[in-house]
Chains A and B, each alone.
Chain A
């Protein structure tokens, strides 16, 4: 059985389910849906399970880590991902090292949640994709849902993982619709082939999956059949699934809203080329500039469905 819902509804339902299922779950902050999305009733329904820290990101995130180490299951919504930098010492330098430094005795199963990426007209200081940097932090798991079923399943998986998790969410996914199974698909670390086509493979995550689907539909009209592979997990990246999909296509695009250097896409491309060196591949990343406020400028920087489709057509001409 499945039901069709919006992404924001699926997210609220999944969090509600986890709060109901486990008394140790606590929200350290509330900006997981509101004010970014329509009211979903989550914060009102679980008011006694939500702590509201001041604008003190370092203390907020450290709090989550400490609570996780000592038996709770904290979910820490940081809100706009650019604000993570204030908490960087905790997220990048404490949480991921705890299991390792303790010789495996102590774990910090905390879930950090951010609204990442360009939400349009928020400017350079509210539209970061900092998770690309955190790929280089061993010990942290990074999840990036793209569909209602993803957010449902990955929230379930995050709460069952004994490592610190970063859940990379995107404001512009809120109104995506899709089917959600009755039993969450909690597979972490597997990619999902959302669309099958024999000419070109588009590998993407988060909002870029939705744009890749739009691009694939427009490629259809040009007689180009595109597959779309949704990564879902960025660390550890589902490399086997990607290599397998790549080998079944004559050309591949790696699409990423992060900037090229240090992006998941460039890492994947390098990994794939080691295992499948004859692959014709292209990166479609945000260009190397901050997010501009004006939409005309932003569309020059962040990959659009149009740019994805154009690059796909171009790479096919070459191969």
Chain B
């Protein structure tokens, strides 16, 4: 695996988009310094401070500025660092960006791209480790992509910037420095797709859990079909449904805390569409319903790992 890491690939794609279109403007805290994860590294040297704009810690206003830029014909790209900070930007994202096309009767669209990183496992504690993709995906009017490989991250960045609607690219922190490819990841980031064929069980997963599912399937020698559900909004369950009609069993994996809204929605969609094909109850594996703890022992107990995925797969196969 000698290709770029996920964040390097995303950075290159962002640079490519900026080179191709002078309307692309990057906004965020510390973006001139490259951002906390290197997403904007070096961009200021090539494109200057007008197009790579450092902002104060004003997430609400910055998201609003991006909406205004988008309405004015620019292609803003907001680096929202941690997805936990979507709390502070939520009014502009959920109440404005998501709705202006609708409220204006289609007069205006908001071509806004947002990049954000989330997920536990790096000892950042309760307020910097949440996975809040389900929130964003539950608001009509926002598209959410969750790429799980460098190639898909690059494609997602390019698609998000080229799209006429608000698109959030949601990346697992655990994958930022991963170089691992996935089957078929040169295809469109807008469709869920099978990344491992199998006949006994379908596993629907997103982000880092796609890789865990692949590893777990190998380790227990199961004939599991793994579907990478990378478009979280509008949710794209058809490839999962399609797979379940062949395997008759489904395990849904998602890293959200608590009730696991996205996992539940996938389960509900499959139940409605493929009820008569199912040989076993649909199972879901999500993070526990607690805030994310900081201590290593506690966080390790919290985070879903390959063992948990493997045992969930075994259970579904035996059910």
Binding site for B on A (CB under 8 A): 82, 85-86, 88-89, 92-93, 96-97, 100-101, 123-125, 128, 130, 132-133, 135-139, 235, 237, 258-263, 265-267, 269-271, 273-275, 277, 280-283, 288-290, 292
Contacts and interface: CB of A to CB of B under 8 A. Distances in A.
Given A263-B261, A269-B264, A290-B103, A86 B91 contact: yes
Contacts of B98: 290
Contacts of A274: 281-284
B260 A261 contact: no
Contact of A261 (B60, B132, B134): B134
Interface of B: 60, 84, 87-88, 90-91, 94-95, 98-99, 102-103, 125-127, 132, 134-135, 137-141, 233-235, 256-265, 267-268, 271-272, 275, 278, 280-284, 288-291, 293
A270 B87 contact: no
Contacts of A125: 95, 99, 103
Contacts of B271: 269-270, 273, 281
Contacts of B275: 280
Q: Which of B257, B260, B265, B282 has the most CB of A within 10 A?
A: B265
A261 B261 contact: yes
Contacts of A270: 260, 263-265, 267-268, 271, 282, 284
A260 B291 CA distance: 24
Interface pairs A-B: 3 shortest CB-CB: A262-B138, A262-B261, A277-B281
A80 to B, nearest CB: 11
A96 B291 CA distance: 8
B102 A124 contact: yes
A96 B132 CA distance: 15
A137 B138 contact: no
A277 B98 CA distance: 36
A282 B291 contact: no
B127 A93 contact: yes
Given A270-B264, A283-B268, A100 B102 contact: no
Given A123-B103, A270-B267, A262 B262 contact: yes
Nearest to B98: A290
A133 B91 contact: no
A269 B268 contact: yes
A213 B248 CA distance: 36
A106 to B, nearest CB: 14
B282 A138 contact: no
Contact of B234 (A93, A237, A258, A288): A288
Contacts of B141: 289-290
B265 A290 contact: no
A82 to B, nearest CB: 6
A96 B257 CA distance: 13
A267 B95 contact: no
20 contacts: A93-B87, A124-B99, A124-B102, A125-B103, A133-B134, A135-B259, A136-B132, A139-B290, A260-B268, A261-B265, A262-B261, A265-B268, A266-B268, A270-B282, A277-B281, A281-B268, A289-B140, A290-B99, A290-B140, A290-B141
Given A85-B94, A88-B90, A289-B102, A273 B134 contact: no
Contacts of B88: 88-89
B264 A138 contact: no
B138 A261 contact: yes
A266 B264 contact: yes
B259 A267 contact: yes
Contacts of B265: 260-263, 266, 270
A283 B135 CA distance: 19
A261 B290 contact: no
B84 A93 contact: yes
B319 to A, nearest CB: 9
B261 A100 contact: no
Given A93-B127, A267-B259, A133 B135 contact: yes
Contacts of B126: 97, 100-101
A258 B283 CA distance: 23
B136 to A, nearest CB: 9
A281 B278 CA distance: 14
Contact of A262 (B94, B135, B282): B135
A178 B305 CA distance: 50
Contact of A100 (B263, B280, B282, B290): B290
B259 A136 contact: yes
Nearest to B293: A100
Given A125-B95, A277-B281, A271 B264 contact: yes
A193 B95 CA distance: 35
B253 to A, nearest CB: 13
A267 B264 CA distance: 5
Nearest to A132: B138
Contacts of B90: 85, 88
A92 B87 contact: yes
Contacts of B263: 270
A133, A261, A290: most-surrounded residue (chain B CB, <10 A): A261
A79 B282 CA distance: 39
